[in-house]
Structure formats: structure tokens, C-alpha cells
Amino acid sequence: MKIISFPERATWPALLARPVQSTEQIEAAVAPILAQVRQGGDAALIELAQKFDKTDLTTSGLAVSVAELDQAEAQLSPELKDAIRQAYQNIRTFHERQKQPIEKIETMPGVVCWRRSVGIEKVGLYIPGGTAPLFSTVLMLGVPAQLAGCNEIVLCTPSNHPAIYFAAKLVGVTKVFRIGGAQAIAAMAYGTESVPQVYKIFGPGNQYVTAAKMLVAKEGMAIDMPAGPSEVAIYADDTAVPAFVAADLLSQAEHGADSQVLLVSTSKRLVELVNLTLPTQLSKLPRKDLAAKALENSKAVLVETQAEAIDLLNTYAAEHLILSIGNAENVVDQIINAGSIFLGNYTPESAGDYASGTNHTLPTNGFARAYSGVSLDSFVKKITVQHITPEGIQHVGPVVEAMAEAESLIAHKRAVSLRLASLNEINPA
């Protein structure tokens, strides 16, 4: 890792900048795919699968059958099935506690307001194929959708890995399709003869999938969040274990060559020890080539004080932030920009990626300054309700009349005035 010692604050924006991605060329390639699916439906999906994935969907069909989902369980080891079930239960336990009971609030006598959560009727989950079968993401997206009570949960993936099918059945996915890439996003956004149109699309993907999500969002389709390459920032001091820190950096770097890896420390010794252990651990990884490319662009930043480290981390707004420091629990409340935080030497990012219970679908590319990760709230709408009694309209009515008249919205005022007049007729002073 390149070590940058005590950078001036004026240099932080450039130091912490993510690689700029040129979206114009990618969007120009994706837009015709969206149009082709919108116009051609299933036939377009079959043609695009042959073109991009070299897959003949005329033989296998677009949809994965119930029998195939059932058979997937038998293809997995008992150990993996137990692990998936345990992760499912942990994720469900954490997300279930996010349910909020209805609380009726009387703002004035006779004026009662409340809010209720309603599951989004139709949601689409995208699970990439690529070099890793991301069945963990099926759990992360499917569990909150299941808990929210979404009526239709559509999953698109080019992968036929049995663990993805097993997880899909576990979380109550209603339909699974063998569709990948930008065309999968188009299918869920517009609907085809086979694929239902959904109301919100979730899930990670490559730059073409991301561009497709952003383009359909411009047309009014709801999506989970903007996305970019996955990233981790680690703040470590002399209480950290260098081998643990190196392992956490590599666990992020192995995602891909564009993964973002940042180490921040007040200890030169710690940074040097991490740099010493990185090559040994890297050499043992099956995905070492990908991880090595990510590390080429990684940085270790030395700062003078903990306060400066916290400021730098809040400026960076990491997707994943690991606090491998002695006073992690005291510092955590000072972190205001991060997708998910991991405290102490025994809390690796991997735990959150798979099975601790928190969601691993998180804002990247600095969006943690304004966005939250996926949660139960991502799959529900909050609908407000109010009920005003005759007593209540007498209390709030004059307030509404005065404000409506000041805005020159006389019909608004009249809607209240008529009711007040009717009550005066019933109960004359």
C-alpha cells in the first residue's frame, strides 16, 4: 500500500477521491438494450442472453421452475445449508426489530394523526453472476422484502448456482428468472410477457447494471440507491492486530480490481506491519490477481491525532468502516458518515457481509453522506392517516382558514368553513 504521511487538509478531497467513471459511454451502450427489451419483451431477452451470455434460453426457458428450486437443496452440503439457514435467522432477527408499531398522536383535542407501514406490492431483486455466486445478497434483500409483506418478489440472475436458488426459496421469492445484465433491469422495470413489472428494483451489479438502474430511475422507477465499486476504510491504532487488518483489507480487495481500500492510522509502526503481512496473505488467495490490482490503488494515510482521523473518515464516508482501535465504542458516535461500522479487533467486515444480521447492501462512492443501507424501511411505504372529530375541526379549522386565505387558496378555506358553519347550525351559540 502507498503510505501518505500527514497530508494537509487542503489535499484531502483529491486524496480521498474515488476513480471517476465515465457514464456517457456506458449509458450509450445500455440505452439501446433497455429500448430493445421494452419493445421486444421475452424475445429480446432471449436474443440478448445469447449475445452477451452465450446462453440459449429457448432450451432452458426464462423462468426457473418450482421443481428446480426444490432440487437445489439436494445439491448443497449439509454444512452450507445450515450456514445459510443460520444467516437467514440472524438477518431476520435484526430486521424484524425494525418494525414500528402504529402510534396515534393527538396534535390537538380531536385531531389524531398516525403513520402505518405498507409493503411495496412488487419488488425486483437483481443478483449478479460474475465470478462469485452472491447467495448472501439474496438473503440481504429477500429477508426484509419477506418481512415487509411484499406480495410479489421477483428475482433475476444469470447464475444457476443451487445456493442462490436455495436462498431464494428460503426468503419467499415468488418468481426467479435466468436473466442477467442491463436486460434484467429492463425486464423488471418495464415487464415482459413472462417477467412482471415491479415497483422498485434492488441489488448490486457491474457498471452496465448500475447504468441501467440509473436510467430507469430517470423514467420514474424506484431503485434502492446509487451504487459504485465496493469499499472499506479501516481506522487502526497500536491495539490493532496487523494480520487482522491485512485480512480485512484483502477481503474487500478480492471483490474486484476497482474495489476501494483505505487504511487510516496514527501509528507508523502499525501501517508498516500491515504492509509487511499483506504480501504473504495475498499470495495465498485464489483471487489474488484481482486483489492485487485493487491494492495498487489503495492508500494508507498517517494522521497526527484521533480527531484528525475521525474528520478524515467522515469526509470519506466509507461503505464499510472498521474501527480497530482501543476506544472504538467511544469513537463510534463521532462517526456521522458511513454505511456500516464494525467495532474492535474481532468484528471483521465479513461478518456483516454474511451472517451477523445487519444488511450488506450499503451506499458506496460517498453516498453514505446522505443514504442509508437497505433495511426493512426500504421495502415499505409510510402512509400517514388522520382523523378529525367535530371537536377537532373546531380547534384546527380556524388555523387552516387563516393560512389558506393568506396563500389565496380560497377553496381550501371554504372546505373548512363549510364544516364549521354546519356545526354552528347544529349547535348554535
Closest CA to 274 of 263, 284, 258, 283: 263
CB atoms within 10 A of CB 324: 26
Enumerate the known binding-site residues for Zn(2+). 252, 255, 353, 412
Which of 320, 349, 360, 401 is labelled catalytic? 320
pLDDT score for 321: 98
| Contact yes or no for 400/418 (Cβ under 8 A) | no
C-alpha–C-alpha distance, residues 100 and 136, integer Å: 26
pLDDT score for 105: 98
Q: CA dihedral in degrees (393, 398, 404, 409; nearest 10)?
A: 70
Query: Span 23-103+118-225: which CATH code?
Result: 3.40.50.1980
Write the secondary structure of 104-164 as one string of H (helix), E (strand) and C (coil): CEEEECCEEEEEEEEECCEEEEECCCCCCCCHHHHHHHHHHHHHHCCCEEEEECCCCCHHH
C-alpha–C-alpha distance, residues 404 and 401, integer Å: 5
C-alpha–C-alpha distance, residues 169 and 381, integer Å: 25
Predicted confidence pLDDT, tens digits, the chain (429 residues):
899 999 999 999 999 998 766 788 899 999 999 999 999 999 999 999 999 988 889 888 999 999 999 999 999 999 999 999 999 999 999 999 999 999 999 999 999 999 999 999 999 999 998 777 899 999 999 999 999 999 999 999 999 999 999 999 999 999 999 999 999 999 999 999 999 999 999 999 888 999 999 999 999 999 999 888 889 999 999 999 999 999 999 999 998 888 889 999 999 999 999 999 999 999 999 999 989 998 988 999 999 999 999 999 999 999 999 999 999 999 999 999 999 999 999 999 999 999 999 999 999 999 999 999 999 999 999 999 999 999 999 999 999 999 999 999 999 999 999 999 999 887 775
C-alpha–C-alpha distance, residues 149 and 158, integer Å: 26
pLDDT score for 429: 58
Residue 356: what residue type?
Answer: S
pLDDT score for 86: 98
Closest CA to 19 of 213, 245, 261: 261
Reading the block at residue 91, the C-alpha cell is 438477518
The residues, ordered by sequence, that sit 6+ positions from 272 with a Cβ below 8 Å of its Cβ are: none
95 is catalytic: no
pLDDT score for 229: 85
| Contact yes or no for 379/360 (Cβ under 8 A) | no
The residues spanned by each domain of the chain are 23-103+118-225, 228-372, 389-426
Reading the block at residue 418, the C-alpha cell is 363549510
pLDDT score for 21: 67
pLDDT score for 260: 87
Enumerate the known binding-site residues. 126, 183, 206, 230, 252, 255, 320, 353, 407, 412
Enumerate the known binding-site residues for NAD(+). 126, 183, 206
Closest CA to 127 of 153, 103, 106, 158: 158
pTM of the model: 0.93
Which of 95, 161, 254, 319 is labelled catalytic? 319
What is each CA distance from 29 to 25, 56, 155, 192, 211, in whole angstroms? 6, 22, 24, 21, 9
* Percent helix, percent strand, percent coil in the chain, to nearest 5: 50, 15, 30
Reading the block at residue 239, the C-alpha cell is 491495539
Indicate the length of the chain as a whole number: 429
Query: Span 228-372: which CATH code?
Result: 3.40.50.1980
Reading the block at residue 136, the C-alpha cell is 448472501
320 is catalytic: yes
Helix (H) or strand (E) holding 1, with range, is: none
- Write the Ramachandran bin of 114: left for phi over 0, alpha for psi from -120 to 50, otherwise beta: beta
C-alpha–C-alpha distance, residues 85 and 79, integer Å: 10
C-alpha–C-alpha distance, residues 378 and 144, integer Å: 8
Phi and psi dihedrals of 139, rounded to 5?
A: -65, -45
CB atoms within 10 A of CB 128: 21
| Contact yes or no for 246/278 (Cβ under 8 A) | yes
Sign of CA dihedral 29, 199, 338, 366: positive
Quick one: DSSP state of residue 63? B
